Chain A
Amino acid sequence: MKMDSHMIDKFGVTYQPGDILFCEYEPGNEFYILQEGRVKVTKIVSDMEKALDILNPGDIFGEMAILEDQPRSATAIAMDRVKVLKFNKENFNLLLQGNPQLAVKLLRVFSNRIYDAKRKLLILSLPDITSKVCDVFLMLAENRNISPKTTSATTFSSTTEGIANWCGEKVNKVKDVLVSFSNTGKIQLYEDRIIVKNLYEMFRLVKSKRQAQAQE
């Protein structure tokens, strides 16, 4: 994304590798546009630091801060020498006026977030953790345009932390579910990926739970 030098002078910040841009639970109301280098998004779960995402130039992050005064939900750490533009509520309008393209991009980011948030609600509203975990796989499949009726093995590059995050459950509980799925041959667990043998089976389970809920 093109930014005039005036913007960079005014809002540009540089970080060295390993520098924290913001950390989990930190109060903050700035959002960032990554200009150069990569940023790792992490969370400390069960006394271990887990990477949730890696951001690349052009990515917008921390944008939830312009909405509400919630503390940060994750930590952002510079992986390389990183250049960002940093904005807050006050200079936001100024930014939009100078950069309508960025504003469009922000609209797109928010549109996607709303879809994700609503999809997450569907997962959360399920009655038990087993069906929640299944629904996370279905959601991940949807995002990749994979049919929920797939009966051949499907690979997901997700971590237990990521899944736990989507279902709003503790990592250990999610692991219990994955262990029982693994033991019944429904999935294969790898360090960096999970293979679901039969997505359709999960689809049917989630569907039946939703129908049962609708009848209540």
Chain B
Amino acid sequence: MPGIQRKYKTGSVIYFRGDLGDNIYILKSGVVSLVHLSIETGEEVRDTLKNGEFFGVKSALAKRPREETVLVIKDAIALVLTNEEFENLITKNIKIITNFLRVFSNQLRRAGKIARSFLDHDEAGDSQIELFKIGEYYLKKHKYKQAQYVYETYLKHYQNGSYASQAKERLASVKDALEGKGSGTYTSILQEAGETDSDLQPQEENKESEIKEDIDIATKYYDAISLFSQERYEDAYKLFKTLHTSGSLDENAKEYIPKIEFEMGRCLIALKNYKEAVLIFTNMIKRYPKDDNVKDALFNIGLIYKHEGNREKAVSFFDKVIKMPPESQVDRKAKKELAELM
């Protein structure tokens, strides 16, 4: 047997939770306890090892910190193996490996089960519908080869599934497209998640583009925020402005308008165009007095006046911030500014 034998005295600790180390141990004699935190309750759990059992395997293999503290309850002897010695040992004994795989897969399964209990919301969609929708996605993107795979897979598993007839139709049209016979276009039936699970009927073109537009503004808004964070204020301002124009037309994008105006104001400050900034903040406050960003907008106007040396106006705006409910983080900043100006 490779490895070295080590003796441990009662009351000593072989390793602590959080330690780094790549040794793997086999208990030869004595009594040893593993103290770890339960993944279910977060409380300390103690397991006593039997002679011949391994410990420290997972952390050594994954090269991660130890998950448990190993206490010596009664004088113990352990065989200490390096990672390499352990590998040599187990490759000669497949049974050990299958045992570990079983233990590890149980642990993984338990962790997965708890994780799913946290994710009770919508995650557990019907995989039959979801699989079909993947096909719809590829079809819409004219990725016929992928669409073909998904529809075939769907039919293989759900021969009499709810969308079997649709899948067959799609498959025929996909094959035509792949052979260059048809355009492969087929009205998409992608719907918003959970809307219907009984029957997916082809929808009119406009509904789909509406959803797409909605995604578009959310994505572009995020892009514009990204540009701002990269200090590319000019580009950010331009993108916000485009969104503002398109947003005024689109019903779905309305909720973004006050946010976009506020961000445009911030861009203008960064670009030192204070006059425009004050204008846009003022308009935003007038039009959307209940928006979450109103207090921040007031504060920003205050900052601009302070910067321009208009102490009186600056004070009045900081004052407005503090007096306006609800309390928010910006209050503290406004108070600080006021204290400086007084």
A residues adjacent to B (C-beta < 8 A): 18-20, 23-27, 44, 46-49, 64, 66-68, 71, 75, 77, 93, 96-97, 100-101, 103-104, 106-108, 110-115, 117-118, 120-121, 124-125, 160, 168, 172, 175, 178-179, 182-183, 187-191, 214
Contact = CB atoms under 8 A, between A and B. Distances in A.
B170 to A, nearest CB: 15
Contacts of B130: 24-25
Contacts of A190: 226, 230
Contact of B57 (A24, A48, A111): A111
B330 to A, nearest CB: 10
Nearest to B92: A100
Interface residues of B, number: 58
A47 B146 contact: no
A93 B97 CA distance: 10
B158 to A, nearest CB: 9
Contacts of A66: 105
Given A44-B137, A179-B222, A115 B94 contact: no
Interface string B105-118: 10111011011001
Question: Interface of chain A, helix or strand or loop or mixed?
Answer: helix
Contacts of B294: none
A189 B307 CA distance: 28
B98 A110 contact: no
A178 B100 CA distance: 40
The 5 closest A-B pairs by CB, nearest first: A100-B91, A189-B226, A117-B111, A111-B62, A25-B131
A98 to B, nearest CB: 10
Interface string B208-224: 00011001001001100
A20 B212 contact: no
Interface of B: 39, 42, 57-59, 61-62, 64, 67, 87, 90-92, 94, 97-98, 100-101, 104-105, 107-109, 111-112, 114-115, 118-119, 123, 127-128, 130-131, 133-134, 137, 141, 145-146, 149-150, 153, 157, 190, 211-212, 215, 218, 221-222, 225-226, 228-230, 263, 266
A3 B133 CA distance: 38
Contact of A47 (B98, B149, B190): B190
A141 to B, nearest CB: 14
B226 A191 contact: yes
8 contacts: A27-B157, A64-B108, A103-B101, A108-B62, A120-B111, A124-B118, A168-B119, A183-B266
Contacts of B134: 23-25, 44, 75
A106 B105 CA distance: 11
Grouping DSSP codes into helix (H, G, I), strand (E, B) and loop, the B interface class, with mixed when no group exceeds half, is: helix
Residue of A18, A103, A175, A182 ringed by the most chain B CB atoms within 10 A? A103
B150 A23 contact: yes
A103 B108 contact: no
Contact of B225 (A18, A46, A125, A189): A189
A115 B63 CA distance: 10
B146 A179 contact: no
A114 B110 CA distance: 10
Nearest to A181: B229
Contacts of B118: 121, 124-125, 168
B156 to A, nearest CB: 9
B220 to A, nearest CB: 12
B82 to A, nearest CB: 14
Nearest to B221: A179
Contacts of B263: 183
Contacts of B112: 68, 117
Contacts of A67: 105, 108-109
Given A27-B127, A44-B134, A111-B57, A179 B225 contact: yes
Contact of B104 (A75, A77, A101, A110): A110
Contacts of A25: 127-128, 130-131, 134
Contacts of B222: 160, 175, 178-179, 189
